[in-house]
Copies of this chain bind each other. A is one copy, B any other.
Amino acid sequence: MKFKVSAELGYDVRSSSTIVLNIHALRTAHQTILSESLTISPAIDAEELTNITTENRFVRLDIPEPGNYNIRYEAVVDNCFEVRSYAEYSETPLGSIDAGVFVYLNPSRYCQSDKLYRLAENTFGKIKGNYNKVVAITRWIHQNVEYLSGFSNSETSAYDTVTQQAGVCRDFAHLGIALCRALTIPARYFTGYSYMLIPQDFHACFEAYIGNQWLLFDATRLAPLNGLVKIATGRDAADAAIASIFGNVFSINTKASCEMFENEPFVPVYYPPSVYDAYTYS
């Protein structure tokens, strides 16, 4: 499936500043970038950086002069979303998890899994199998947390959302991650462009590590899983900010869109058509 994604960001830069953007589509085995462009006006140099561990692609703008800056990213991305039978996913014994995956068991800024052990164990501990546990977590979040713009803020964490029961996609993802880690299931944050998300915006959800694979889960159920174009993964939103700003800069505009590139038939896959299927998106 080919998607055309775009992001448009506007900044009022008041003094020489650095902005690190994380809006480029990721290159993965299942996601190929057919074309892409980044336009900055007025023109300044942009350096692309790649985190060798996560392969997240950053662009660093060192902006010497104050002014209004507009950034436009466009890409055509070919995605190969796999739906596989859950039967293919045997459990991953803790003993066979890679050292690189282990860090996704650790608590992080917005996912304080160390404070959620009892709640996670009491609520999901008796469910057999990690896949079923994550399905149950996702459903529980969907049932208990209301999607409510403006309720949460940049400091809101899973520890807040578990009780306050409202938030946006970022909060849904953080709570899912924290509950997984509390059950010794590695989990990480996912950001992307999202086809059919209304209104169009960047989207966030999470991946859990099951059967030696990162599987995608979205407790918001607001967007089809097979319409996501991956931008980045990280421990939580702290690692995958769309823009990290260092300096006296005001954001004046943020837009993202994702549409079909060609007129292909698209059957939206919402999670879960049945609890026996898992969605790999890696």
Contact = CB atoms under 8 A, between A and B. Distances in A.
Interface of A: 18, 20, 47, 49-53, 56, 58, 60, 62, 93-95, 98-100, 102-103, 105-109, 111-112, 114-116, 118-119, 122, 144, 146, 153-155, 159-160, 162-166, 184, 235, 238-239, 244, 246
19 contacts: A18-B94, A47-B95, A49-B99, A51-B102, A52-B53, A53-B53, A62-B93, A94-B246, A103-B239, A108-B109, A109-B109, A109-B111, A114-B155, A114-B238, A118-B166, A119-B163, A119-B165, A162-B163, A163-B163
A54 to B, nearest CB: 9
Interface residues of A: mostly helix, strand, loop or mixed?
A: mixed
Nearest to A162: B163
Contact of A52 (B18, B95, B99, B107): B99
A69 to B, nearest CB: 16
B162 A115 contact: no
B94 A122 contact: no
Number of copies: 4
B50 A99 contact: yes
Given A94-B246, A109-B107, A115 B53 contact: no
Contacts of A184: 246
A155 to B, nearest CB: 6
A154 B106 contact: no
A112 to B, nearest CB: 6
Given A106-B109, A108-B238, A118-B165, A100 B53 contact: yes
Nearest to A47: B95
Contacts of A119: 163-165
A154 B114 contact: yes
Given A50-B99, A108-B109, 9 more contacts: A18-B95, A52-B53, A56-B99, A102-B244, A105-B244, A115-B155, A115-B163, A115-B164, A162-B163
